[in-house]
Amino acid sequence: GGVGKTTFCKKLYDHPLVMHHFYVRAWVTISQQYEVREMLLSILCCVTYISKEIYEKRDEELREQVYRSLKGKRYLIVLDDMWDTEAWDDLKRTFPDDKNGSRVMLTSRLRDIAVHACQDTSPHSMRCLSIHESWELLSSKIFVDEPCPMELLTIGKRDSM
């Protein structure tokens, strides 16, 4: 973990062109202890208006509601931090395949999860930044309007060489 998968996906998810391209978008954090019901409710909260009565529905009814809310629309669903293939298997039939450019993007620290979820393409693997790249990123974010203090610059240059 910690190579920036979630940050990278969030940048894409929030990009104006992506926002314009997809009619419906949802971001769901899965994590190790997932519950199908919570995932379905999270998606519904993002894609449609939900009333109090929705919380009384059974899981299968929630699944159908998600499906109907997405059907015919170009959607982007991000499933962040997936730890188990079972979580994907529980959700995949919820997403209609209308061949209209809709996408489901998932992040996982476990490559097997991504391979299982998307068997027709290879997953994108992220690499850790080098020390030099890390220093460049850090200094570009922290010292935007002012120069980096000399003592930090000395440490950064020494460690990034």
Confidence of residue 149 (pLDDT cuts 50, 70, 90): confident
- Give 106-157 as a DSSP string: E--S-HHHHHHH-TTSPPPPP-PPPHHHHHHHHHHHH-SSSPPPHHHHHHHH
Q: What are 2-32's pLDDT values in tens digits? A: 667 788 889 989 999 999 999 999 999 987 7
112, with CB counted inside 10 A (0-12, 13-18, 19+), is exposed
- The closest of 117, 6, 28 to 75, measured between CA atoms, is 28
Class for domain 5-117, per CATH?
Answer: alpha beta
* Helix H or strand E encompassing 29: strand 24-29
pLDDT tens digits, one per residue of 30-51: 877 878 899 999 999 999 888 8
Q: Which two tokens stand for residue 97?
A: 């395949």
* pTM given for the model: 0.75
**Mean pLDDT for the stretch of residues 44-60:** 91
- Average the pLDDT over 95-100 and give the result: 92
Phi, psi of 111 (to 5 degrees): -60, -35
Is pLDDT at 156 greater than 70 in this prediction? no
Domain ranges for the chain: 5-117, 131-160
